[in-house]
Amino acid sequence: MNTKDKSWKILSLIPIIAVLVILTLVPLVNIFYNSFFDIRWDDGKYNYTYIGLENYIELPNNKFYLPGLINTIKLSIFAVFFQMLFGFLIALGISKIKRGKGFFISLFLLPILLPPIVIGSIWRLMYGFDFGIFNYLLSFFGVFPLDWLGSSSLAFTSIVIVDIWHWTPFVVLLLLAGLESLPTDVYEAARVDGTSGWNEIIYITVPLMIPTIIVTMVFRFILSFKVFDEIYLLTQGGPGTSTEVISFSIYETFFESDNMGLGSVMSVVSLFVVSLLIIIVLNVIRRVNKYAN
Amino acid sequence: MRTSTEKLINYIMLSFFAILVLAPFLWIATIAFKTQIDIMMMKIIFKPTLFNFDKLFFSKEATFFRDIFNSLFVGIISTLIILVVCSMASFTMIRTKISNWITAVLFLWVIVFHMLPPITFVGSWFQMANSVGLFNSRIALILAHVTVNLPLGLLIISSFMRDVPTEIQEAAYIDGCSNRQVYLKVMLPLLGPGLFATAVIVFLFSWNDFMVAMNLTAKATQTVPVSIATFSQQYEVRYGEMAAGSLVSLVPALILTFFAQKYIVKGLTAGAVK
């Protein structure tokens, strides 16, 4: 291939590098810098007071951050588990049918492509105490109305259910792509040997799919750490801290309480934790790909 | 699937999940056409009314037309920027000889950034926008959306870029084309479907974004999702308008899914780490 044309290569990479440096690297440096200051908004400008590590020392005492971090991890684990389970069933189902495939795929695309805030609105209406559909349906069975979002024992489960509903389709998509790229000759050989439907799934499909399953699972796990919109609309982290998540704590501290120093520390710590997980995840993905090839 | 019972069970299972996906939308669609009283009385049979839509668009304090304009404007401009920036960069990184470490570092950073929670960056963007007088401007939101969606754009375009046969590119070089000409006259036309898939997905993600838009905009520049969220925050939750606004905001996704389902599936799968 052509090796000359140096000016083109530089010019074509300048925009992406500019965006990444100015809008991702500078912000990283900025929050790290912020984290050593007490920042107050006064007379139309920010006043920075250097306080060393005080923000960091204060973080464990913050009522919201640590419970939020634990909730985020819990939410990721529970939600991803069910997403994988339902996602695999649905993907398997779709891969086996011939008629109506496009219809089902379009349908299962919807939750990923619609505004999360709408998903929040819909579920908020459905979870409603007085006139939500769930309590309405329960009333037919003589069950007393449940406070889906307002009781600390139930709110977390309610959020997990929404997350499963929201992201299972994404798992379906990735697993379906994996299923459709499986070698067909193995199945033909099994059929000649007279393998039945269930045995085929358990002894052929699942083992062949393990690399895809692992990659999808760890990828989904990391991305669940971004959850914000639904929490904002459904519970605002409450009641108490039962549905608090890291993104919401950072938002609250930085934008609502105007404590930019502490908010920056939360960001720094969150970035550190998520980066550690990303290193693990990328390693897992690399190993799985190596094994698969 | 060989026996017809297995087939039947399979269709029943898929239909069951399909209903689980669809039911919430049908439910909110009925709410949008109910009066506040009918909503509260849980009426199953009701007289449909356009009252909520009327209030959403035409009441005195309504901002919904402007919100839609803001969303479209930010979505379209940020999508165009991403297409240009990512297709150029992707071509140079994948299809020309360039130091491997530049490509490796850029891709690694893009993938890592894609996985980090965006809220950790929004605070800084807010400060930066403020310090240059861009808070509550569409420019700030466009730049933020370009950044947030850039990883997806780069990953999707790159996966399509790898599928373009190298022979065509080599033939163009033999005919004396420079890299710039190959990019403009050979790659871009061949990448048509890939660019379309990227555009659809990136536009939808910009249209759907709530968190970044909420923190970088105020009333005049707010986007549709921000506007919908405000209906739930007043003293009395305005369920009817919330449902009506939600229903309207689904339109782009529904249209694009209907016409471009194949491209979206390909794009979303390509955009995931493989």
3-state SS assignment for residue A9? helix
Q: Do A122 and B17 touch (CB under 8 A)?
A: no
Q: How confident is the model at residue B235 (pLDDT cuts 50, 70, 90)?
A: low
Percent residues over pLDDT 70 in chain A: 98
- Residues of chain A with Cβ-Cβ distance to B41 below 8 Å are 131
Q: Do B179 and A282 touch (CB under 8 A)?
A: no
Q: Which domains, from first to last, does chain B contain? A: 4-52 (no CATH), 59-271 (1.10.3720.10)
- Residues of chain A with Cβ-Cβ distance to B40 below 8 Å are 130-131
Interface test with A, best of B17, B149, B249, B261 (most A CBs within 10 A): B17
Nearest to B119 among A111, A197, A247 (CB): A247
- ipTM, two decimals, is 0.89
Residue A182 DSSP label:
S
Provide the total of helices (H) and of strands (E) in chain A, helices listed first: 14, 2
Residue of chain A with shortest Cα separation from B269: A174
Q: What is the pLDDT of residues B69-119, one digit of tens each?
A: 999 999 999 999 999 999 999 999 988 888 888 899 999 999 899 989 999
| Residue A46 bridge partners (DSSP) | A41
Tell me, what's the pLDDT at A39? 85
Tell me, what's the pLDDT at A287? 87
Tell me, what's the pLDDT at A98? 82
Alpha-carbon span A195 to A204, nearest angstrom: 10
Q: How confident is the model at residue B146 (pLDDT cuts 50, 70, 90)?
A: very high
- Residues of chain B with Cβ-Cβ distance to A233 below 8 Å are 229, 232
Backbone phi, then psi, for A252, in 5-degree steps?
Answer: -55, -50
Alpha-carbon span B122 to B120, nearest angstrom: 6
Alpha-carbon span B100 to B93, nearest angstrom: 8
Q: Do B183 and A86 touch (CB under 8 A)?
A: no
Alpha-carbon span B83 to B75, nearest angstrom: 12
What does pLDDT average to over chain A? 87
* Contact with chain B for residue A21, Cβ under 8 A: no
Rg over CA atoms, chain B: 23
Tell me, what's the pLDDT at A1? 47
Q: What is the pLDDT of residues A216-254, one digit of tens each?
A: 998 899 989 999 999 998 888 878 888 999 999 999 998
State the amino acid at position B215 in one-letter form: N
Q: Give the DSSP per-residue string, A15-79.
A: HHHHHHIIIIIHHHHHHHHHTTEEEEEETTEEEEEE-TTHHHHHGGG-TTHHHHHHHHHHHHHHH
Q: Which domains, from first to last, does chain A contain? A: 6-54 (no CATH), 57-292 (1.10.3720.10)
Q: How confident is the model at residue A103 (pLDDT cuts 50, 70, 90)?
A: confident
Least confident of A59-63, A274-278, B80-84: A59-63
Q: Do B112 and A169 touch (CB under 8 A)?
A: no
The pLDDT of residue A3 is above 60: no
A 10 A CB-CB count for A255 gives 17
Q: Do A13 and B120 touch (CB under 8 A)?
A: no
Q: How far is A153 from chain B (nearest CA, A)?
A: 23
Residue of chain A with shortest Cα separation from B240: A125
CB pairs under 8 A between A and B: 277
Percent residues over pLDDT 90 in chain B: 43
Quote the tokens at residue A114: 């619609």
Q: What is the dihedral of CA A268, A271, A277, A282, to 10 degrees?
A: -140
The pLDDT of residue B193 is above 70: yes
CB burial readout B206-221, b (16+ within 10 A) else e:
bbbbbbbbbbbbeeeb
Binding-face residues of A in 78-137 toward B, CB within 8 A: 86, 89-90, 93-94, 96-97, 102, 104-118, 120-126, 130-131, 133, 136
State the amino acid at position B173 in one-letter form: Y
More confident residue, B252 or A293: B252
